[in-house]
Structure 1
Amino acid sequence: MPRQSRFVLPNYPHHVIQRGHNRQVVFAGDDDYLYYLGTLQEWKAQLGCKVYAYCLMTNHVHLVIDPGDDPEHLGLLMKRLAGRQTRYVNALEKRSGSLWEGRYKSSPVQADAYLRACCRYVELNPVRAGMVDDPASYRWSSCPAKVGRIKQPWLDLDPFYLSLGESDVQRAEKYAAWLRETIPESEWRLIREATQRGQLTAHKRFAEELSEKYGRRLVQRGPGRPRKD
């Protein structure tokens, strides 16, 4: 069966995950992380993409990216990131071959309802992995910038974040408090499963509307028999 093409929407955020080949280590030291972030900063500007959140783990990355007017820019950005990092690591280690899995996973995100939830999911990844207790203490994510610990001018601020206060200090304090709130397990599950399946991270009705519009199933289906109308 042919592999279904990736579904990308213009001017919508997308939650993207890319893993190292066979779950191997991708970032072995600070220079590796810095090189990847340098490429992300350079190419998101060249392609007109927005980066709302990111988290670089040792063997995979999470990104929340809006490709702008051209949906193909998401794929181009991921191609540049993967290709440049592979060449960089291969040159350092005097090796050849792929650094990444063949395909990254992505899910278009209903901006008003789930963009903030996806950003939180991404930035809490080191906490879920048991690497840190405070997400703002993890250097290789967008969280330190959003809570005011560092400056990162190239990071794009989403409408939810901007609505948290009138000043940078207010927004940073409220965002830090929001990250500490209890998160429903259903929210984690929806985000995780939508990205794994390449479906929408969205309310069901919104997903059904887009499924009809594009003639493609974008709605998550749970186990069991389908409901009768």
Structure 2
Amino acid sequence: MARLPRLTLADQPHHVIQRGNNRQAIFVDNADREMLLGLLGENAQRLGIALHAYVLMDNHFHLLATPSTAHALPQWMQAIGRRYVRYFNQRHGRTGTLWEGRYRSTLIQADRYLLNCMAYMDQNPVRAGIAAEAGDYPWSSHAHYAGQRHDKLLTPHSLYWTLGNTPFAREAAYAELVRAGVPAAEQAALTEATLHGWAAGDPEFLNSLQKATERRVLKARPGRPSAARKSLP
């Protein structure tokens, strides 16, 4: 079966996952992590991408970003991937691939999923057992939104500003959102959509989205497609 093109649209937030080949480590030390963050920021500015959130794990990373054009996100990931692999191989005396194939991504409905997607990302180190709390892990955007440090790489999404009328109120509300956790069903929905490249949203959003692209936004139903099927259920 031919591989579907990625679903990437301008001015919509996208959740991205890139994994190491065979689950191998993609960072050896903090210098590697700093290099990747530098590449993220440098190329986001060049290509017109707003980076809302990130978390760097040992063998994969997550990003949440809004591209200003339909081509910006794949160009961003290609530029980062090539530069980082070249750097990593030279620095650590290795050859060959570093990534587990193509990056995975999904377009998400902001008002339904964006803040929970950020919390889901922040909780990765806790779920992995390498941090007791999200705020204990230094290689994510959590500290910025919880008021622990300023991260110049980040562009907060407008939904973050709705959490409170003052910086303190927003930071406290966001920290509580992360502490409360993301429901298991929503975690599963975000993971499934990202790994398979389908959009994440409610039926009304998905129907509207389908009108903006020829690429399917959801997995096709079993059986032969109907020519009369004009919209999603």
Cα RMSD (Å)? 1.8
Q: What residue number does 1:207 align with?
A: 206
Distance 1:135 1:222 in 2: 38
**Gaps spanning 5+ residues in structure 2: where?**
223-232
Q: TM-score, normalised by structure 2?
A: 0.90
Distance 1:109 1:220 in 2: 15
Question: Contact 2:120–2:182 at 8 Å: present in 1 too?
Answer: no
Runs of 4+ in 1 over 3 A off after TM superposition: 220-223
> How many residues were matched structurally?
223
Distance 2:187 2:86 in 1: 34
Distance 1:122 1:182 in 2: 11
Distance 1:183 1:222 in 2: 28
> C-alpha displacement at 1:119, in angstroms?
1.1
Question: Contact 1:199–1:219 at 8 Å: present in 2 too?
Answer: yes
Could you report, residue by residue, the CA deviation over 1:133-179 in whole angstroms, capped at 9, with x for unpaired residues?
21011111000111111111231111221112233222111111111
Q: TM-score, normalised by structure 1?
A: 0.91
Task: Name the SS of the counterpart of 1:100 in structure 2.
Answer: coil
Distance 2:38 2:214 in 1: 38
Could you report, residue by residue, the CA deviation over 1:120-141 in whole angstroms, capped at 9, with x for unpaired residues?
1111111111111210111110
Distance 1:177 1:222 in 2: 39
Question: Contact 1:15–1:107 at 8 Å: present in 2 too?
Answer: yes
> C-alpha displacement at 1:209, in angstroms?
3.3
Distance 1:144 1:17 in 2: 20
Over 3 Å counting, the alpha-carbon distance change for 1:24 and 1:172 in structure 2 is same
> C-alpha displacement at 1:78, in angstroms?
0.5
Distance 2:114 2:30 in 1: 29
Task: Name the SS of the counterpart of 1:58 in structure 2.
Answer: coil
Question: Contact 1:124–1:135 at 8 Å: present in 2 too?
Answer: yes
Over 3 Å counting, the alpha-carbon distance change for 1:222 and 1:140 in structure 2 is farther
**Gaps spanning 5+ residues in structure 1: where?**
224-228
How do 1:110-125 residues align onto structure 2 when only pairs under 5 Å count? 110-125=109-124
